[in-house]
A and B are shown apart, each in its own frame.
Chain A
């Protein structure tokens, strides 16, 4: 029994739990209470909101795709052993989690911008520059979201009992088959948690996107950017957009609740 059935400990836990729940519920309640319900259908149907929603979905799911494609091999390698190399790589990959997003945006510019380390070559060879493009929103979102996927995936892979994989090997399964039919299905809950965290982080990315990708309706203005822009001109639209973002997030959280609610 974590909390006893009676006594002062139970009372304090109950009180503080109530305070915590209220503090977390209030912002959502504030949104729901102030939402322009009558105007909402009209607002949602408007061009700017469509664009913002489309761009947010593109950037968040694009970031998820990048995270899985690049993050899964990385997690497999990180989980395969220990050592200073792996520790250093893990540090670099975890950096976006703690870095202030605006700093991340500046760093992305310095790496992939027109005069950045890699961006310079892109510009020179292909005449193509990432900032101010939709691809840049995906990159910014992926940079901020990938660490969450990698960390969750690595944790799950490390916790996997290697004997299952070994058993599959003795039964004649090759490396690809072992990965696809044994390893990945067995760590599937961690992968789903990681994917969810990555997607959610990418959806909410603001500062890095604004700095690296810019802010133009139809090309780079994702929902958070549209929200911020609306707040200065039409607060009701901003509240409506906030509601959409909140409901979208709640929807995904509840659909995937079996993936992240801790199982005993």
Chain B
């Protein structure tokens, strides 16, 4: 007789937990009486993480109707997800070829536009303990250096820069994104890597400039996608390209087209 009540009470406990976890409609509204902000999904390259988070804050102040959800990954990974049918409202990649893959598959709602530019830099630990001053230095036998993968924009640009400087580099790994690369430099696993000038901002890292004749200018396109919140996506893209948005990008170290 004592055994029977146990199973129903377990069921009740599970149901109660599920009900408790269900969000109350309007619980996240910013003002009483307003409906819940609509989620806008933004896929952005890893190097845009800090900048887009700032842009997101600025946009939320300007237009609280939308709640931005960011996905920061290497550009090829984002493109792959979209090709496999993921739904997003905005895509910002770190180079044109990755954006082209999405645009040519007619996955964009409007033609992409360039909204920012970036320069490459050699990323080293704070204090530059290994005294790396140029691309040629990276090829030193005693250094542990890596690049991003060939399909990652930073990897592509880095290989272009190395080719321009006629430097043969032995990369220890094809990192998936600039974020992963910088983490490994930060942890001391790598003595240096080639990423963007903007990647050292706010981190315990230093950027060594690359000679102008070897440097490659990265071009970042942004496009609205036919996702669930197209209007929200368009407004965010408009904000990114507006004066306040451009100012934020400039503060983060990006160049403006």
Chain A residue with minimal CB distance to B75? Answer: A232
**Across-interface contacts of B79 in A (CB, < 8 A):** 232
| Complex contact B187–A231 (CB within 8 A) | no
Chain B window 176-202, contacts with chain A (Cβ cutoff 8 Å), 1 for yes, 0 for no: 100010001001110000000000000
Which segment of A61-69, A74-82, A173-181, A210-218 sits at the interface? A210-218
Instruction: Assess the A214–B187 pair: CB atoms within 8 A.
Output: no
Q: Let me know if A232 and B173 touch, CB within 8 A.
A: no
Q: A109 to B187, Cβ gap below 8 A?
A: yes
Instruction: Summarize A's interface: helix, strand, loop or mixed.
Output: loop
Is A229 within 8 A of B187, CB to CB?
Answer: no
**CA of A216 to CA of B175, assembled, Å:** 9
**A residues in contact with B77, CB < 8 Å:** 232
Q: Tell me the nearest residue of chain A to B188, going by C-beta.
A: A115
The reply to whether B187 and A215 form a contact with Cβ atoms under 8 Å apart is no
Q: Count contacts between A and B, CB distance < 8 Å.
A: 49
Chain A residues with CB under 8 A of B180: 211
B80 touches A113 (CB 8 A): no
The answer to whether B188 touches A214, judged by C-beta atoms less than 8 angstroms apart, is no
Assembled-state Cα–Cα distance A228/B188 (Å) = 26
Contact (Cβ within 8 A) A132 B172 = yes
- Contact in complex: A215, B188 (CB < 8 Å): no
Q: What's the minimum C-beta distance from A107 to chain B, rounded to whole angstroms?
A: 12
New A-B contacts (19) at CB < 8 Å, excluding given A113-B188, A132-B189, A229-B174: A109-B189, A114-B144, A114-B189, A115-B187, A115-B188, A115-B189, A129-B144, A131-B189, A132-B172, A211-B180, A214-B172, A215-B174, A216-B171, A220-B173, A221-B174, A232-B79, A232-B151, A233-B76, A233-B151
Between-chain CB contacts (< 8 Å), 20 pairs: A109-B187, A110-B187, A113-B189, A114-B188, A115-B187, A115-B189, A129-B144, A129-B189, A132-B144, A132-B146, A132-B189, A214-B172, A216-B171, A216-B172, A216-B173, A217-B174, A220-B173, A229-B149, A231-B80, A232-B76
B residues apposed to A, CB below 8 Å: 76-77, 79-80, 144, 146, 149, 151, 171-176, 180, 184, 187-189
